[in-house]
Amino acid sequence: MRASLVLALVAVACPALGTATAGADVVFAAHDAPLELGPATIEVDVTRFEARFTVRYEVANPGPLPDEAMVELATPPASAVTGLRYQPRAGAAWLDARLLAAGDAFARWERYADAHFVARRGPALIELQAGSVPVLRLLFVPARDRVAVEYTIVAPVCRAGGHWIAPAPPAPSSDDDDARYVVRGPRGAGRRVGRAEAPKLIAADVADACSASDPQAAWDAEDFVVVRAPDIPASHGVASRMVLVPAGNQRFVDVVIDTGTRLSPAPRDASVVFVIDASISMGEGGVAAQLGMVRAYLARAPGARFELVVYRRHATRVFGRWRAGADVEAALAEAGVAPFAIANGSSLDAGLASAATILARAPGPRRIVAFTDDRVREALDEELARSSLADLPADAVLHVVSTSAHRGRASALDRADDHFLAGVAARWGGIAAGATLGADGELPHARADVFEELVRPRRIDDVVIAHGHGERAELGAILEGQSVRALERADSDAVTVQGMIWGRPWQPTLVTSDRARRNAAALVVADEQVWHLERDVVRSLATMAHAVSTETSLWADDPRWTPGGLPPEVALDGRATPCGIIGSIGGGSFSTTSSHVGVGRFGPARERPDVAALLAGPVAACASRSGLVTWSVGLELETTGREIVDVRLARGADDPAFAHCVVESAWSLALGEAFDAWTASFAVDVLGDSARR
pLDDT class for 326, splitting at 50, 70, 90? very high
Q: Residue 45: pLDDT above 90?
A: yes
Please give the average per-residue pLDDT across 28-52, as a whole number: 86
Q: What is the pLDDT of residue 268?
A: 93
Would the CA dihedral through 658, 662, 665, 667 be positive or negative?
negative
**DSSP assignment, residue 365?**
S
Q: Where are the beta strands (DSSP E) in 493-565?
A: 495-501, 504-506, 552-556
DSSP letter for 318, please.
S
Q: How does DSSP classify residue 161? A: T
pLDDT higher than threshold 60 for residue 579: no
Give the 3-state secondary structure of residue 172: coil
Compute the distance between CA of residue 133 and CA of residue 209 in angstroms, rounded to an integer: 26
Give the C-alpha separation, 31 to 25, whole Å: 19
In this predicted structure, what is the pLDDT of residue 325?
96
- Return the higher-pLDDT residue of 528 and 617: 617
Name the least confident of 344-348, 527-531, 684-688: 527-531
Please tell me which residue, 579 or 189, carries the higher pLDDT value: 189
DSSP annotation string for 62-105: -SSS-EEEEEE--PPTT-EEEEEEEESSTTPPPEE-EEEEHHHH
Higher pLDDT, 2 or 464: 464
Q: Strand 590-591's sheet: what is its strand order?
A: 98-101, 552-556, 124-127, 135-141, 67-72, 26-29, 582-584, 590-591
HSE value, Cβ hemisphere, 13 Å, CA-based, for 139 = 30
pLDDT for position 640? 86
> Per residue in 98-152, pLDDT tens?
999 999 999 888 888 887 776 677 899 999 876 678 999 999 888 888 899 999 9
User: Which position has the higher pLDDT, 514 or 384?
Assistant: 384
Whether 350 contacts 372, CB under 8 Å: no
> pLDDT, tens digit, for every residue of 617-657?
999 999 999 999 999 999 999 998 899 999 999 888 788 99
- pLDDT for 457 beyond 60: yes
Q: Does residue 312 register a pLDDT over 80?
A: yes
pLDDT above 50 (res 294): yes
In 3-state terms, what secondary structure has residue 614?
A: helix
Number of CB atoms found within 10 A of residue 379's CB: 14
Give the per-residue pLDDT at 8: 35
Task: Specify the pLDDT at position 256.
Answer: 66
Please report which confidence band the pLDDT of residue 432 belongs to, taking 50, 70 and 90 as the band edges. Answer: very high
Report helix, strand or coil for 521. Answer: helix
Q: Taking residues 485-503, what's their average pLDDT? A: 78
Q: In the predicted model, is pLDDT for residue 188 greater than 80?
A: yes
3-state class (DSSP) for residue 170 = coil
In angstroms, the CA 182 to CA 77 distance is 20
**Distance, CA of 42 to chain centre:** 24
Name which of 143-152, 318-327, 483-492, 663-672 the model is least confident about: 483-492
Q: Across residues 222-247, what is the average pLDDT? A: 69
Give the DSSP letter string of 201-269.
Answer: HHSS-HHHHTTTSS-GGGGG-SEEEEEEPPPPP----EEEEEEEEEETTEEEEEEEEEE-S-SSPPPSS
The reported pTM is 0.57
**Burial (0-12, 13-18, 19+ Cβ within 10 Å), 140:** buried
> Does the pLDDT at position 165 exceed 80?
yes
Nearest to residue 52, comparing CAs of 602, 636, 545? 545
Cβ 58 vs Cβ 38: under 8 Å? yes
Handedness of CA 112, 113, 117, 122 (dihedral sign): positive
Q: Please tell me the predicted confidence (pLDDT) of residue 129.
A: 72
Reported as a single tens digit per residue, the pLDDT across 333-370 is 999 999 999 999 999 999 999 999 999 999 999 999 99
| 686 pLDDT more than 80 | yes
**Whether the Cβ atoms of residue 154 and residue 51 lie closer than 8 Å to each other:** yes
Q: Which residue has the higher pLDDT, 445 or 262?
A: 445
pLDDT score of 199:
87
Can you name the residues that pair with 143 across neighbouring β-strands? none
pLDDT for 482 equals 64
* Residue 546 to residues 245, 534, 540, 554, Cα–Cα distance (Å): 29, 18, 10, 8
Integer Cα distance of 586 and 563 in angstroms: 33
- Give dist(CA 573, CA 415) in Å, integer: 43
The total number of residues shown for the chain amounts to 693
Q: Can you count the helices (H) and strands (E) in the chain?
A: 16, 39
Q: Is 50 exceeded by the pLDDT of residue 26?
A: yes
Q: How far apart are CA 38 and CA 74, in angstroms?
A: 14
Q: Residue 7 pLDDT more than 60?
A: no
What is the pLDDT confidence band of residue 602, given thresholds at 50, 70 and 90? very low
Going by pLDDT thresholds of 50, 70 and 90, the confidence category of residue 429 is very high
- With cut-offs at 50, 70 and 90, classify the pLDDT of residue 321: very high
pLDDT tier, 692 (very low <50, low <70, confident <90, very high otherwise): low
Torsion of CA 544, 547, 552, 555, to 10 degrees: 110
Going from the C-alpha of 626 to that of each of 34, 612, 654, 689, the distances in angstroms are 47, 20, 11, 13
List, in order of start, the domains of the chain with CATH numbers. Answer: 271-456 (3.40.50.410), 611-692 (3.30.1150)
In this prediction, what percent of the chain has a pLDDT beyond 90? 45
Cα 638–Cα 34–Cα 566 angle in degrees, nearest 5: 35
For the ranges 40-44, 102-106, 369-373, 405-409, the maximum mean pLDDT occurs at: 369-373
More confident residue, 577 or 157: 157
Local confidence band at 536 (pLDDT 50, 70, 90 cut-offs): confident
Q: How far is CA 644 from each of CA 338, 376, 394, 637, rounded to the nearest angstrom?
A: 20, 9, 34, 7
Average of pLDDT values for 511-517?
Answer: 44
**pLDDT at position 537:** 73
Question: Which residues 6+ apart lie within 8 Å of 260 measured at CB?
Answer: 237, 238, 480, 481
What was the pLDDT predicted at 483? 64
> CB count, 10 Å around CB of 452?
18
